[in-house]
Structure 1
Amino acid sequence: MTTSTMSRRVFSALVAAGALSLSGVCTISMAQQATSQQTLRVSAIPDEAPTELQRKFKPLGAYLEKKLGMKVEFIPVTDYAASVEGLINHKLDMVWFGGFTFVQANVRSKGQIIPLVQREEDEKFQSVFITTKNDIHKLEDLKGKTFTFGSESSTSGHLMPRSYLLAAKINPDTDLKRIAFSGAHDATVAAVAGGKVDAGALNISVWEKLITQNKADTKQVHVFYTTPGYFDYNWSVRADMPVEVQKKISDAFLALNPNDPQEKEILDLQRTKRFIPTKADNYKAIEAAAHNAGLLK
């Protein structure tokens, strides 16, 4: 073998090695770029007006971006079912569920949905029944009346109110003159206040917020029944999310400090003083109520 031939072969080997090395660097660079561009896609059940959901999430999203080191995008959904399907089908990464929608998602995914945190209030959440009528004082007085729930998949706007009606021996489908579904808690208040129905049921937190904002006139619309407490809302993710990311998200929520002005704004918008850990077992009673009410097959 001549010296020139050897030189050419050595040169070719060096070029090949360099190409492999460059390929490896490019691969690492692309992986780092993909990681840096990772986005946490977040949504929430549409239990309030879309503009209100966006307003509530904006400072929380900015806070999570800083804590997680990734982009956080809020993706609104059209209805409760879309929030469930979005998480199960990997179109969303984290969702603010009600207790019933969490149960639906967990059942549909065969136990692959993990609730991370809930507000402290969600350990003993409540629904309120409201009316403008002077002849409605208790649940039994609803017989023969018109009534609206919120969304069909709402825990506090449908499932639990229906459960307490059934416990009072009132079948909404046969004992009420007509039932409707407003689609959202604030829409329920509007329907009752506007005389479209005689009464309705909604989330106590939204009711109290509307009163504070002077969007509900208690001289016109009043609460005549408040349910016992039950587990409700939570932030949920899929089980296939990396454990370290799940922990970062949980830690971020648990670290929110009401003594910090910016973080207090986030907590106030979420209508809570703090978040606490939660688990799937907390929602067994909701699942049982859904079965009993014939809402979960």
Structure 2
Amino acid sequence: MTRRSTSRRSYLAAVGGAALTGGCLGGTGTSTVRMGVVPDVDPDTAVQQNTGLAEYLESHLDATVDVDTSADYAGMVRAMAAEQVDLAYFGGVSYILARHRADAEPVVVGSEGGSTEWHSAFVAHADGPSSMEDVVAAPGDYDLVFGDPISTSGTVMPTYYLRTEFDTRPDDFASTTHVGAHDATAGAIANASGDVGALNARIYDALVESGDVGDDVVELWRTPGFPDYPWAVAPTVDSDRVGRIREAFMKLDDRDRTGILDTQNVDEYVPVSHDDFTSLNEGVEMAGLLDGDESGANP
């Protein structure tokens, strides 16, 4: 079918400039799938990286797919709770919140090298600390940079592993700043706007490979693995369409749009259920994120 133009700028203008949190993401008819993606990189890039996927899904679902992003991770949770989005690419923590607040249902998760686990990378400026041992020995000497407050690999799990592996908390640092997307974290460290940062390890690897991160940034440590980044549907999506969405993702392979998988930093998509996120759900509960507002000011 012929794709309708849905660039982020033109589409947001058409709905009055509301980035999911205050307006409709797409059409309300059954021939339109409203797809939202968390801004794990800058918003324009997030939409650009998923435009090819939207076009691919259109061909498999016989539906128009409108793709957009939100101002932050919490905005995507609110969008699904407000029935403004049908299919969403969540971070792990934002998915857990969407599960509790909007009954989101995970459909698929990406696999790389046979593993569906993700990791966080702690990085530093080349002129800064040379190891995590240096960092945790005197955290008050360093400024810490995190991503979105409810980013799984940019804030919540790095905080968890700081506590469990090094008996250190973000409050122990000279300052803690949340800059949003993972590439913004890398940029802040490269620009010496912070001393130590944490970001999604696959995104960090991609930034290094593309040359967007140079010698000014060095990796200090990678966390153990954890579940992250499911594609999930709203409860209003009928079971037939859910099945077709899952099948379309699972058909993405070397014979069918490999470039789409490259932009997602995965080799393939595999089926997933909420049971696969049990440990992360427990971690979110331990962090107290289910007790208050989903903005997660103190994860």
TM-score when normalising by structure 1: 0.83
How big is each residue's C-alpha offset from its partner over 1:69-118, in whole Å with a ceiling of 9 and x where there is no partner? 01000122111111011112111111100110000111113xx2100001
Specify the code of the residue in structure 2 equivalent to 1:251: E
Q: Is the 8 A contact 2:252 2:268 kept in 1?
A: yes
Name the stretch that deviates more: 132-141 or 150-159: 132-141
In the other structure, the counterpart of 2:120 is 127
Q: Is the 8 A contact 1:115 1:235 kept in 2?
A: yes
2:59 corresponds to 1:62: no
Decide which structure has the larger Cα Rg and report it: 1
2:82 corresponds to 1:89: yes
TM-score when normalising by structure 2: 0.82
What number of residue pairs does the alignment pair up? 258
User: Alignment partner for residue 235 of structure 2, among 200, 225, 239?
Assistant: 239
Structure 2, gaps ≥5 residues long: 1-26, 292-299
Q: Is the 8 A contact 2:147 2:182 kept in 1?
A: yes
In the other structure, the counterpart of 1:155 is 152
Specify the code of the residue in structure 1 equivalent to 2:286: N
SS, match of residue 199 in structure 2: strand
Q: CA deviation at 1:124?
A: 1.3
Q: CA deviation at 1:123?
A: 2.0
Task: Describe how 1:45-124 pairs up with structure 2 within 5 A.
Answer: 45-109=38-102, 112-121=103-112, 123-124=116-117
Q: CA deviation at 1:152?
A: 0.2
Dislocated runs of 4+, deviation >6 Å: 34-37
Superposition RMSD on alpha carbons, in Å? 1.8
Task: Describe how 1:1-297 pairs up with structure 2 within 5 A.
Answer: 38-109=31-102, 112-121=103-112, 123-132=116-125, 133-138=127-132, 140-141=136-137, 143-144=139-140, 145-167=142-164, 168-173=166-171, 175-217=172-214, 219-260=215-256, 263-297=257-291
Specify the code of the residue in structure 2 equivalent to 1:256: L
Q: Which has the higher helix share?
A: 1
How big is each residue's C-alpha offset from its partner over 1:274-294, in whole Å with a ceiling of 9 and x where there is no partner? 100011111121121122233
SS, match of residue 289 in structure 2: coil
Q: CA deviation at 1:54?
A: 2.0
In structure 2, the CA distance between the partners of 1:292 and 1:72, relative to structure 1 (3 Å rule), is: same
Specify the code of the residue in structure 1 equivalent to 2:147: G
SS, match of residue 50 in structure 2: helix
Specify the code of the residue in structure 1 equivalent to 2:86: D
Q: CA deviation at 1:141?
A: 3.8
Specify the code of the residue in structure 2 equivalent to 1:40: V
Task: Measure, in 1, the Cα distance between the counterparts of 2:189 and 2:83.
Answer: 38
SS, match of residue 75 in structure 1: strand
Q: Is the 8 A contact 2:33 2:63 kept in 1?
A: yes
Structure 1, gaps ≥5 residues long: 1-33
Task: Measure, in 2, the Cα distance between the counterparts of 1:142 and 1:123.
Answer: 34
Task: Measure, in 2, the Cα distance between the counterparts of 1:291 and 1:143.
Answer: 26
Q: CA deviation at 1:51?
A: 2.2
Q: Is the 8 A contact 1:129 1:199 kept in 2?
A: yes
In the other structure, the counterpart of 1:6 is none
Specify the code of the residue in structure 1 equivalent to 2:78: E
